[in-house]
Amino acid sequence: MDRIIFGDNQFFGVNHMSEEKARAQSMRFQNNSAILEVLECAYSFGIRTFMCTTHERMADICDHFRARRADFPDYTFYPCMPYAHKYANAVTEHGMVGALRSFLPEEGTLSALLKSGKAVVQADMESLAQILIDAEMKMFRGLSTPVIFLQNVVTDLLLGLGMNEAFRIFANHVKERYDAEPGFITMNAPRLLDALASVGIENPIVCANINKVGFRMCGGLAAYEAALRGRRFRAIAMSVFASGAIPAREALDYVCGLDQVEAIVFGASSKGNIKETRDLITELSIRS
């Protein structure tokens, strides 16, 4: 994994501390051209990996990079699925079965089974899960996607329900179908590590909030630090600034000092902030 990963929260009005900032970001990035401008700026600073949800608008972003591969030969996507609001809206509008049908590829034997209702009646959840993963991945066809993530909304729901076998289904399909590594986003990394180990997922890629003040770190800062010291996994730190609660240098000095953190994902919308964050991560990583 690259040490520095660019995230997409800012493009879709996600800010965990300020609704006003979230609305302003949402307005700024109404047009895809504004998103592409920021992504190309990040690329110019050497940031080659974009970690993004499967939001509908990402399809156009993927089209842009697919059409300009010569300009971005080493650009990599880390898809994060599912984009929960998309499914919630579809269920509200079409009902459960209608929502499933609306997201499935048109071709394929399993799709035909679902249309006949057979897969639903048989409760073939593994097949359904695989089909939905394939539907989410359709927009990334032909692009580099070496790691594919399960979003925290689903990861933590499955974790809470004790449905650990679902993690194995996701991991196996990602490996076999896409020759990619499975990744898991969570708000409770210590507990997730136990669940993944229980179904034989070794040395997993886990993306979680890791910051100096324990912001949105379920179980507490001490539990995370203990996991980083004593568990074998590849950690990606997100929310390192605690949504602006920690000054940039102080925040990154803490995270870069954790040897077990392999990568840091951050979102920014200005050239200055992108460059400053890249420079600080590079400086503090070398020093640590």
CATH number, domain containing residue 216? 3.20.20.100
pLDDT at 125: 74
pLDDT at 277: 98
pLDDT at 15: 59
Q: Give the total number of structural domains in the chain.
A: 2
pLDDT at 83: 81
For 172, list phi and psi in degrees, rounded to 5.
-65, -40
Reduce the DSSP state of residue 120 to 3 states and report it: helix
87 and 109 inside one domain: no
Domain limits for position 195: 4-92+143-287
153 and 65 inside one domain: yes
Report the largest interatomic distance among the alpha carbons of the chain, rounded to a whole angstrom.
60
pLDDT at 168: 97
Domain stops at, among 104, 120, 142: 142
How far apart, in whole angstroms, are the C-alpha atoms of residue 177 and residue 240? 32
167 and 39 inside one domain: yes
196 and 176 inside one domain: yes
Closest CA to 7 of 202, 176, 209: 209
Please answer whether residues 188 and 223 qualify as being in contact, where contact means their C-beta atoms are separated by less than 8 angstroms.
no
For the chain of 288 residues, list the mean pLDDT of each consecutive stretch of 10. Answer: 96 67 75 96 98 94 97 98 70 62 54 49 69 92 98 95 96 98 98 98 98 96 97 98 95 97 96 98 88
Domain stops at, among 101, 123, 142: 142
18 and 78 inside one domain: yes
209 and 82 inside one domain: yes
158 and 184 inside one domain: yes
One-letter amino acid identity for 198?
S
98 and 8 inside one domain: no
Q: Is pTM, for the whole model, over 0.85?
A: yes
pLDDT at 93: 72
257 and 114 inside one domain: no
23 and 137 inside one domain: no
131 and 197 inside one domain: no
pLDDT at 101: 61
104 and 65 inside one domain: no
